[in-house]
Structure 1
Amino acid sequence: MDPLRSTPQACLVADVGGTNARLGWTRDGRDVQQVVSYRCADFVSLADILLHYADAVAVQHAGLRLRDAVVAIAGYLDQDRLVNANLPWDVSVALTTEAAGLGSLALINDFGAVAHAIPGVPRHALVSLAPPRQDQGLQVPALVLGPGTGLGAALCLDQTGAAVLLSEAGHAALAANNEKECDVLSILSKRWQHVDSERVLSGPGLMNLAEALCGLAGESPCYERPEHVVSAARAGDAIAQETLEIFCGWLGSQVANLALTLGARDVYLAGGVTTHIAPFLHAGHFRQRYAGTFIAGRVPPPVWRIEHGQLGLVGAASYWHAHRGLRSKTAVKDDA
């Protein structure tokens, strides 16, 4: 199979999650057109989604052939098979390519796609969390991370977004920084032998944190979903507010640790959770813990929160633009 060929007129790009898939197409690897969203459960396979969209585009644009496809998707490739527990169907790269009528198909890690997209994000779409002395534009290496279903993290290594380094930072052990965090870790360690960062710093992790704090307060958990914790905090619920404060502070320390470890010169926060808890991120606990990690004269890199709804698609388009001249016998992939 020829994974990314330079001859097609345009490329189909997709950002596929466990519930929804967003699709579009690009000619130049920058502008993504005709973005639509589908429910994954309404289709029998990934190939079915890709073919359905390609047929719809062909009806509207006579002569346009979407022969390439780049799909940003959580998980990793084990030879030909995608390993992802959250999708409603199995994915084989070869069978999907054939069934969708494609000449090439690349599956890239979803957070790697976000890192590919960073150079194309306009500065007006960024909100400062830890302001720089002067905004000098994108500085590389740039750390891109964010809590969602898990805690994704990657490095954008160049100004074009072509070179990206993925990480498994979300699965590294979570370190406590104060007595309350030690108490939370003590509770979580009774459930999991290895308490990694995304056990707290993610959407599901927010629930774990809230439950632990309820236990420490001698109360029964009363939140069913992460958004319920956020709503309760906004309504003045004390434990919910404490949950968001600790979450933001802990995230600040984790971001600083990764920036120091990886030598990042810029930091960008993405992911759905950061959007939902934005007022709490800006309230101060994140910035205090983040800045407090840089001692002995070290200057913390600026931190930006991204307000952009199509990073996965833009990243997939950027990946195609950077790699479409490559030829190989196997599927191009980012190993997550």
Structure 2
Amino acid sequence: MTKHAPNTLSLVADIGGTNTRVALANGATLLPETIRRYSNTGYPGLETVLRQYISEEGDVDCKGACVAVAGPVRDGVGTMTNLDWTIDKDTLLRATKAEKVSILNDLQAQGHALGYIAEENITCVAEAQTPEAPSPNAVRLVIGVGTGFNAAPVFETYAGRFVAPSECGHANLPIRNAEELALCQFVENAHGFPAVEDVLSGRGLERVYLFLGTQAGDPREKSAADIMQSLENGDDPRAEDTVKVFVKILGTVAGNLSLIQLPFGGIYMVGGVARAMTPYLDRFGFVHAFRDKGRFAGFMQNFAVSVIKDDYAALTGCASHLNTLTA
């Protein structure tokens, strides 16, 4: 006997560079008790992960399946940026035997989650300084800072929600001063191209720490987790300097993206690194860097910035997106 009634639930998955999380959803509602996490290194591809999950859930018969991919998606094919997996609709159909399948970029999934996240899982870090509330159809922007970096605008249209795909984490790093120029050159020497993701990510935080040590004639490495722990403990001044550089560049990049998309409905930062940085954004001047746009500094006060603390938001986004396809 199976655990679930046949052809009633949907399968959703969030495929990161390190782990894949899989769950079931009833319509747009995620079922938290069904969430399972798998280490990608133990599997040759997504199909094997999904087959194991389905088996562990009593050979559940899913009516739909939607996965979020940490990488570009084109014509129904997702290519992982930090993992040697390629995901297509045929793979999903074969693994899940579902009637309807969909593949999203992970930031698209985060965009589809907006409106389905509990208020207690949203922390405002910069309020909009405007007298009126934003229009229900105002553009919103999700910014992901974790294993990598990306962002996606969220549009409410007459045909429904549209979340535009993007790979903006691979655009050039911004340069505002001599230190940032030196950092840019440091990254370029190591990787051939100084991309935003090379600094604004978990491994990027480690790179900033090594850069500052190299500048000081003391090039030591430290993991991102240890950098954040040292900052909390107050036992390593370089860790504090590292996070200060990180936060200011994050503010600059978030501000640049806001001027491109005009998200009067708000900016929502997601991802493990964004959550870890939340207690330090005010301390290290995130809002100042975000609004430091010359004669447009006042205009930048139109945009509120929040951090989503829900680690399963991408799964919720997959569920809500799939629900619109199967309704």
TM-score range, shorter chain: 0.7 to 0.9
Q: Does 1:312 align with 2:310?
A: no
Number of aligned residue pairs: 314
RMSD: 2.7
Q: 1:221 to 1:132 in 2, by over 3 A?
A: same
Q: Secondary structure in 1 aligned to 2:213?
A: helix
Aligned to 2:169: 170
The answer to whether the 8 A contact 1:157-1:164 is kept is yes
The answer to whether the 8 A contact 2:137-2:155 is kept is no
Shift of 1:20: 2.0
Aligned to 2:256: 257
Q: Secondary structure in 1 aligned to 2:193?
A: coil
Q: Does 1:232 align with 2:230?
A: yes
Q: Secondary structure in 1 aligned to 2:128?
A: coil
Shift of 1:104: 3.4
Aligned to 1:334: none
The answer to whether the 8 A contact 1:144-1:269 is kept is yes
The answer to whether the 8 A contact 1:47-1:97 is kept is no
Q: 1:123 aligns with which of 119, 123, 146?
A: 119
Aligned to 2:150: 152
Output one character per residue of 1:177-230: Cα deviation in whole Å (capped at 9) or x when no partner: 12221221232232344311111111111122111111111112231x211222
Shift of 1:116: 0.8
Output one character per residue of 1:64-98: Cα deviation in whole Å (capped at 9) or x when no partner: 63131111121234667542254465545314422
Aligned to 1:35: 35
Q: Which stretches in structure 2 are left out of the alignment for 5+ residues?
A: 1-5
* CA distance in 2: counterparts of 1:70 and 1:257, whole angstroms: 31
Shift of 1:9: 2.1
The answer to whether the 8 A contact 1:126-1:307 is kept is yes
Equivalences for 1:17-96 in 2 at 5 Å? 17-33=16-32, 34-58=34-58, 65-77=61-73, 82-84=78-80, 86-87=82-83, 91-96=87-92
Output one character per residue of 1:92-112: Cα deviation in whole Å (capped at 9) or x when no partner: 531442244333332211111
Q: 1:267 to 1:17 in 2, by over 3 A?
A: same
| 1:142 alignment partner AA | R
Q: Which has the higher contact order (CA 8 A, sep 6+)?
A: 1
Q: Secondary structure in 2 aligned to 1:132?
A: coil
Q: Which stretches in structure 1 are left out of the alignment for 5+ residues?
A: 1-6, 326-336
Q: 1:102 aligns with which of 73, 94, 98?
A: 98
The answer to whether the 8 A contact 1:32-1:317 is kept is no
* CA distance in 1: counterparts of 2:160 and 2:186, whole angstroms: 41
The answer to whether the 8 A contact 2:17-2:83 is kept is yes
Q: Secondary structure in 2 aligned to 1:36?
A: strand
* CA distance in 2: counterparts of 1:186 and 1:303, whole angstroms: 30
Q: Percent identity?
A: 25
Aligned to 1:298: 299
Output one character per residue of 1:219-256: Cα deviation in whole Å (capped at 9) or x when no partner: 12231x21122222233311111110010011001101
Q: 1:235 to 1:48 in 2, by over 3 A?
A: same
Q: 1:142 to 1:317 in 2, by over 3 A?
A: same
| 1:46 alignment partner AA | L
